Structure 1
């Protein structure tokens, strides 16, 4: 990669991250206010949900949504100003990693602060992560899962952008399969459901193998997006 290309990618990554981080700060503020409000309900308080866990579930949907919205809204804009598709894709991928880890790191910091107050000291253990680490492993694992949801949204966006409505619907199905595979690797809700209908059970994987599997899925997802983007006609009007 040429030096000027590296500079373009670095600048574009910062720009994309900055835009999405502004959205994310608004999102995190709203979720935090909802969390504070929910603690005044006895049933929610008895559930003993920590802030990091509280952020995780809606953050999957949030990352999926910005994965869909951002390419549809901004791809033409960046290409119009001379960015190549490759530079845009690499920059978006870097920004996605930054946003996912930022969400979970900020959630962990806020959770640690709130644990000083008894009213908001919910448990932060993640049920599907068996680890002695209270913070590092959960942050890494949850961030990787959020990256996958962002890639799933990105695949949907590029499917609609390249193939129109019917082709886009096909990519919705592909994205759902992608998300299902992530669930099988980590949360296993679909695995337990599938065991009811399949003549075999899906084995539990260690954290190490699940991380490797997630990395492979991220690579596959980005490869699919790259192949679509190489052939897509950029709409500059």
Structure 2
């Protein structure tokens, strides 16, 4: 592992354009459960609560679960060492951007500035009628469903529901960076969710070195990964940080 860490640090140091691609695994150590897998949220909750059609028909019912998952439980999550290392890499000029599938805002809270939110952000709510955007900190979640103070319409969390498209700017920026990067660092993504999982694949197709940080093998491992640093994101990224600085 030490030799892999040294090799990876050298690759990152020599890269002219490096991006990170992150999934649920990077936030698990902050107490944010993944949606899929053995301990995933969909083992406890019905995914239809985040289906756009079902939401429009049953917003009050959906909001009971949305509040519990995203605004009661997730509210206590804080950035961990892995988020902070990526922010440090960006601040030091070693990382250009973070493409994230996560909606927890932890990259931004850790200090990352150039973050492409492929699936949106739970810390924002949006009125689908007038388009006004609210910070979650402004909302009184004791009274649900929350409503727009302009037109009284029920607010929707500003992250992607099933049946919605990827935000255009995030999609275009993510793939633009993937196509010109020298290095793509995958952290905590299994590669199961499309079209997000096409980002590292686009990087690979354009000649980038793919570094994967995951405790287990994933759909990326045997297909696009060049170096697999097997372990927890916090542990591996701290080792990389120590080697780089």
TM-score bracket for the superposition, by shorter chain length: under 0.3
Please identify which structure carries the higher strand content. 2
Between Structure 1 and Structure 2, which shows a larger proportion of helix residues? 1
TM-score (normalizing by structure 2): 0.27
Larger radius of gyration: 1
